[in-house]
Amino acid sequence: MLKSGPLWALGAMSGTSLDGVDAAMVLTDGARVLEFGESAYRPYSEAERETIRAALGLWDGEAVAAAAEVVEAAHLEVLSQFRADVVGFHGQTLAHDPAGGRTLQVGSGARLAEALGRPVVWDFRSEDVRRGGQGAPLAPFFHFACAHWAGEEMPLAFLNLGGVGNVTWVDPRHGAPEAPGAVLAFDSGPANAPINDLVRTRLGLDRDEGGALAATGAVDEQVLKEFLTRDFFARVPPKSLDRNDFHAILQRVGHLGDADACATLTAFAAASVAAGLRHFPAPVGRVLATGGGRHNETMMQMLATRCGVDVLPVEAAGLDGDMLEAQAFAFLAVRVARGMPTSCVSTTGVATPLSGGRISG
């Protein structure tokens, strides 16, 4: 039984960029962020990445089991460094098909709870999908709490630039994230995943560091225009994506040189976000970017140009963009433990506010 009042929660996130495990502490009562604590990062080795990559898009089998073992071992290594009242464990998304009523994040929270000797909240997305929601994004309620922590008073947006991009529109004048008109969130489109896949295949690199390669290339506007006509961008939220939903764009830039192909994929990420802004209930004064993509200077410049609004790293609001998603699952773990909603109709499309997740230990 967890104690009443604020808890020190430890959150862990392994995203679709497949770079490694982020872990971060948050002091919260489930409604407010009271304090941010220590954090750590445990990168995946190339062999571990390949094991996980081999299971992407699969739902079961030996490759999935092997990926789960890698994910659990890496998380246990980093989580063992902390003392916390409760742990929020997201796991590694391998496949996501909300239209088919299923989503898969591998890694057993029950096994982690036994090894760590403390309660673990996990499997955050499955119940939302079973209830007809998209199961993603799940960070919006935390973004709402962050806006209050930062003293924001007018609508703003949080933009997560991971393998897939997602945006949260927040009106901090409301008292709770599930209140009508408080938040709107959805996946905007691909972000780092196609770029990472391109430079890994062509150049043997993990990423376009700082956007240096894209900065030397020219955008193929015809390819960009073609992909932006896809139904996804006009579809009214909520909506979510699997990491590889736009994988075909890699074939469409196949005829381009390395720099031009990279520039086009980077522009696609930025233009996807700009298309998403059209769905916001009201204009925002600024967009706060988190995730690895905010380190890509070329992407950030393209975002500012195509969105027509200030796009700044979340550090501009005093937040840690490298750890925001891990912090989100620490925050959500406490909400689940307290029976508070973690998603609602304006974030995932689930019909009524839902407290997802399972608790082990």
Which CATH number fits the domain that encloses residue 237? 3.30.420.40
> How many other CB atoms are there within 10 angstroms of residue 54's CB atom?
14
Can you list the alpha helix ranges (DSSP code H) found in the chain? Answer: 46-53, 62-79, 109-116, 126-130, 140-149, 192-203, 212-215, 221-228, 231-234, 249-252, 258-277, 297-307, 324-337
Contact 122, 358 (CB under 8 A): yes
- DSSP 3-state of 271: helix
Strands 156-161 and 164-170: antiparallel
* Tokens 């990062």, residue located: 41
β-sheet bridge partners, residue 121: 88, 359
Closest CA to 337 of 131, 120, 152, 158: 120
Q: How far apart are CA 7 and CA 9, in angstroms?
A: 6
| CA-only gyration radius of the chain, Å | 19
DSSP code of residue 175: S
Tens-place pLDDT, residues 28-84: 999 999 999 999 999 999 999 999 999 999 999 999 999 999 999 999 999 999 999
C-alpha 229 chain-centroid distance: 24
**Model pTM greater than 0.75?**
yes
User: Which residue range forms the structural domain that includes residue 13?
Assistant: 7-137+325-360
Tell me whether residue 16 is in a domain: yes
Position 242 in a domain: yes
pLDDT over 90 at 304, yes or no: yes
What are the tens digits of pLDDT across the range 82-138?
999 999 999 999 999 999 999 999 999 999 999 999 999 999 999 999 999 999 999
Same domain assignment for residues 26 and 160: no
The reply to whether 158 and 281 lie within a common domain is yes
Residue 1 domain-assigned (yes or no): no
SS3 state at 341: coil
DSSP 37-96: EEEEEEEPPHHHHHHHHTTTT--SSHHHHHHHHHHHHHHHHHHTT---SEEEEEEEEEEE
Angle between helices 258-277 and 221-228 (to 10 degrees): 40
Total number of domains constituting the chain: 2
SS3 20: strand
- pLDDT bucket at 240, cuts 50 / 70 / 90: confident
Does one domain contain both 171 and 282?
yes
The pLDDT of residue 207 is: 95
pLDDT tens digits, residue range 153-171? 999 999 999 889 999 999 9
Per-residue pLDDT band for 1 (boundaries 50, 70, 90) equals low
302 and 166 fall within a common domain: yes
- pLDDT-derived band of residue 176, with 50, 70 and 90 as boundaries? very high
